[in-house]
Structure formats: C-alpha cells, structure tokens
Structure 1
C-alpha cells in the first residue's frame, strides 16, 4: 500500500481587523478568516484603539497586541481554536487592568 504524504503549508497573516464582535485575519493565500472576538477574552475587553494596535510576529505566523498582552496564532485561528488562557489567569489580568491608573 502506498501512502501519499501531503505537506500542508500554513499561510501567514498579512492584515488584521476587528469589530465589536469579530476578529478577521487576511491570509497570504488570499483567504480571509473571521472568528468571534469572544474567543479571545483580552481582545474582547480591549478598546477599539487597543485592538487596532497590533503587530505581526514570527513572520506572520501570529499576531501580538502589546496593550493587552495577547498573542493569536494563524494556525489556531485556522483550526478554530479559541484562547487557551485559564480562567484564573484571565481573571487576574482583568483585575490588574481595572485597577491600573488611567493616563490623561
């Protein structure tokens, strides 16, 4: 029996957009993938301005939001995998976010 091995090349992110309820990633192969923003609680709690401040990491293998310390991988988005952050970690982050001083 012959087995055909297929190598799957994961595309990289080229652009990122978000709305109040959706995270959208434009990929190098021409596809656009959208997932619920609620999959990533830190982004869900971020302001539109914070969500707009992203950068590609790993040559587009992922996206990083400095202001909310969130990383999302293209592979995870393609696989339909929401954030793996624990509830305890998110709760601690949210408490720290609510108690930090605001800058004016």
Structure 2
C-alpha cells in the first residue's frame, strides 16, 4: 500500500508538456494548463549560455526534467514550480 500512495503523489505533481525559450527566459507549459517562465540568469550554467545553446532545451523523464545536452545541465520541473533557483534575481 505504501508504494501505491507514493505512486499517486508522483502522478499528481504537474509535469511539463512543452518547453521553450524566448528573450533569455525559459518557459514550460504544465499538464495542469499553467505556463511558468523564469529568467535563464537564475541558473549558473544557463546564465553563461548563448541564446542558441539556451534554445536547445528538451523535456526528459516524462516531463519532470528539462535538459540542455550541450551544456550538460538538468533542472527538475517540480523544482521550478516550487521556485527553487540557484541565483537570486
């Protein structure tokens, strides 16, 4: 029963269905319909990325992570939703 409870919790967290960048912002559209955006400069590696590198964002782990292969950078969607960023504005 414990594993079923954990499985339900995981399924209720919103995942991303789309990710894109625009004017140095990263945006995600979530399964619950919300769109969340944040400045790329809030993460060390993304802050130093070129616009082209930044635009190469991919969804991974069934929408629970963002991946920049060229930059070797991963950011979790639940972390973004919770407002967990590396750098202050």
- Place the TM-score, normalised by the shorter chain, in its bin: 0.7 to 0.9
| Bigger radius of gyration | 1
| Structure 1 moving runs of 4+ over 6 Å | none
- Aligned Cα root-mean-square deviation (Å): 1.9
Unpaired stretches in structure 2, ≥5 consecutive residues: 1-8
- Structure 2 CA distance for aligned equivalents of residues 27 and 33 of structure 1: 8
Tell me if the contact between 2:19 and 2:59 (Cα under 8 Å) persists in the aligned partners. no
Question: Where does the alignment leave 5 or more consecutive residues of structure 1 unmatched?
Answer: 1-6, 85-104
Partner Cα distance (2:44, 2:37) in 1: 16
Deviation at 1:45, TM superposition (A): 1.2
> Normalised by the size of structure 2, how large is the TM-score?
0.75
Normalising to structure 1: TM-score of the pair?
0.66
Structure number with higher strand proportion: 2
Match of 1:33 in 2: 36
* Deviation of 1:56 (Å): 1.3
| Corresponding pairs, count | 78
- State the structure with bigger RCO (CA 8 A, min sep 6), 1 or 2: 2
